[in-house]
Amino acid sequence: MMASNVICLLPHLDRVELVNGGELVASVSVPQAREAFSSYMRGRLAEDVPLYVQRIDAHCAVSQHLAAVRALDACYNASPPKGAIAIRRALAYAGVYYHHLEQLFFSRSSGDGGIAGLVRTDDELAAHDVLQALRRARDVVEILGGRGLTPERGIPGGVTVGIADEQLSRARDIASDLLGVALRSEEGFRAGGARWVEEQELSVPAYSLATVNDDGEASLCDGMLRIVDPKGSEVITGDASQVLPMMMEWKEDAPLRVGPLARLNAASGASTEQARELQKHLFDALGTSPIHRVAAGNWAMVIELVEAAELLSSALAGLAAGDSELHASLDEPGEGVGAIEGARGTLIHRYLLDAEGIVQEAQIVSPDSLMEADVNAALSSLIAESGPEVTDDTIERIVNTIGSYQPAYVPSAPFSLRIVRRDADGRVSQEWRRT
C-alpha cells in the first residue's frame, strides 16, 4: 500500500524574471519539474512507483501513472496481454479528454473571461453541461483506472483487474455523450476563439516532439517518438530509450515544443476522422504545418479534445469485460524506459531496479521541463515587442502566452504572478505583481 502521507507536489509558477544582459529577456524556471519527481522515486519499491507519481503530479495523474507502468514493463522485460493494453489505452484517452476539457473552460488564456470566453456558448452548452461532462469523464477514469483521476490499476506487466460488464456498458454510454460535448466545444471555439488566435501573431520557431503511429499520424498512446525541426524535417524517430539520451543533452537555446501543437506539427495529421476534418480549419487560417504561432496551441487542444473523445469511444467499443489474461510474468528486475503522450505533452520515465526491485536510479522527464526553453523564448519575444515598460497589457500578454502552453504550474485561473527585473548585479530593480 502507498504511504498515506504522500502529498501533491505540483510545481507552481509565481515569478517571471526579466534579465538585463545587453537585451531584455524573460525566463521562468520550474526546478520541481526537473528533479523533484526523479529524486522522490529513488529507494521506492518498483510496484509503488506508479502510485506515487500520480499523486506527485496530480494535474496529469493518468499519464504519469501510465508512463511509470510502461517503464516498469521494460524493467521486467514484460509484455502485457492485449486485454491489459486495451484498458491502459482507453484510460490514456480518458485522461487526455478530462485534462483538455478542464483547461478549455478553467484555464486563463485570454482576457478576463479566460479561454472560456473564446468558446461561444448557447443554451446547448451551458456551464452545467461542462461541469457534468467533467464529472462523467472522471467517472470513466475511475471505471478504467480503479480510482477517479489518480488511477491505481496499472502494474508492471499489465493491470490488476478487468472491467465488469455493467461498468463497461456505462463507460461506453458516457463516451458517446463526451464526444458530443467535445464537438460543441470545438464549434463554439471556432465561432469565437479562432479569430483571437489569428490576431495573436507571437510565433516561436521550435522543434516538435510527439508520438506517431505506424502511419505517421499523431498518437495519444502507442507508437514511436518523433522529433522534427522548425521546418518540419525529421530529426529522429525511435523508441523512448533512443530518444531519452537526446533529451538529456538537449540545448536550452533550441526551443522544443510538446503537447497538442507539437503533435500536430510532428505528425501527418490526427488519427481520427472528425479531428482530421477539423484540422483543416486551423490549416486554412494559419497555413500548413509546422505552425509556430504560440496561441495556436489553444486551437490544437480543442481539436485534440474531439480526437480523444473519438479514440475513447473506439477503445471502449473494442474492450472486453472480465478478468482473464490481464498480467504477464516478470523477468528479473533491471533497467527500462517508457513514454506516453500526456495532455500537456510527452512524458518519459526511466528506472533502474536492483535485484530486490528497489529503484536505484530514476529519470522522469515531464512536459514542463521539456517546454521550458520554448516558454522562455516566447516570453522573451513578447517582452522585446512590448518595450522596456511593463504595463497591465504586458502582464496580461504574459499570462495569455503561458496559458497557451497549458503547463501544470498554472492549473487554473486566475493565477497570481510576480514579475521582477534584475540589474547587472542581480538585485531586483523593479517588481510588478498580479493577484
The full set of domains in the chain, from first to last, is 15-403 (1.10.645.10)
Helix (H, G, I), strand (E, B) or coil at 334: coil
290 preceded by a cis bond (ω within 30 of 0): yes
Least confident of 79-83, 231-235, 274-278, 371-375: 371-375
| Strands 15-20, 417-422: pairing kind | parallel
Q: Report which of residues 39 and 277 the model is more confident about.
A: 277
Q: Is the pLDDT of residue 403 over 90?
A: no
Cα 431 to Cα 14, 17, 348, 367, 426: the distances in Å are 12, 10, 36, 29, 13
Burial 85-117 (b: 16+ CB within 10 A, else e): bbbbbbbbbbbbbbbbbbbbbbbbbbeeebbbb
Range scoring the smallest mean pLDDT among 91-95, 233-237, 385-389: 385-389
Contact, 182 vs 93, CB < 8 A? no
The lowest-confidence range among 57-61, 108-112, 206-210, 334-338 is 108-112
Contact 260, 297 (CB under 8 A): yes
Strand arrangement of the beta sheet that strand 15-20 belongs to: 24-27, 15-20, 417-422, 428-434
Beta strand 207-212 pairing with 158-159: unpaired
How is residue 142 annotated by DSSP? H
pLDDT computed for residue 394 by the predictor: 81
pLDDT tens by residue, 244-256: 999 888 887 789 9
Q: The whole model's pTM is what?
A: 0.90
* Higher-pLDDT residue of 371, 430: 371
Provide the pLDDT for residue 356: 96
Q: Per residue in 167-184, pLDDT tens? A: 999 999 999 999 999 999
Nearby residues of 402 by Cβ (< 8 Å), 6 or more positions away: 13, 28, 375, 379, 410
List helix spans (H) across 318-346: none
User: What gap in Å lies between CA 210 and CA 371, rounded to an integer?
Assistant: 12
Residue 236 C-alpha from the chain's centroid? 21
Planar angle of CA 291, 202, 280, nearest 5 degrees = 30
Which pLDDT score, from 0 to 100, does residue 105 have?
80
Tell me the three state secondary structure of residue 158: strand
Q: What is the overall mean pLDDT for the chain? A: 85
Mean pLDDT for 353-374 is: 92
pLDDT for residue 391 is more than 60: yes
Q: Is the peptide bond before 414 cis (omega within 30 degrees of 0)?
A: yes
Q: Would you call 322 helix, strand, or coil by DSSP?
A: strand
Q: What proportions of the chain, in percent to the nearest 5, are helix, strand and coil?
A: 45, 20, 35
Name the least confident of 260-264, 347-351, 368-372: 368-372
How far from chain centre, in Å, is Cα 118?
A: 21
Between strands 15-20 and 24-27, the pairing is antiparallel
Residue 20 binned pLDDT confidence (cut-offs 50, 70, 90): low
Mean pLDDT of 215-243: 96
pLDDT, position 60: 84
As given in the structure block, the three cell numbers for residue 418 are 510576480
**Is 109's pLDDT higher than 50?**
no
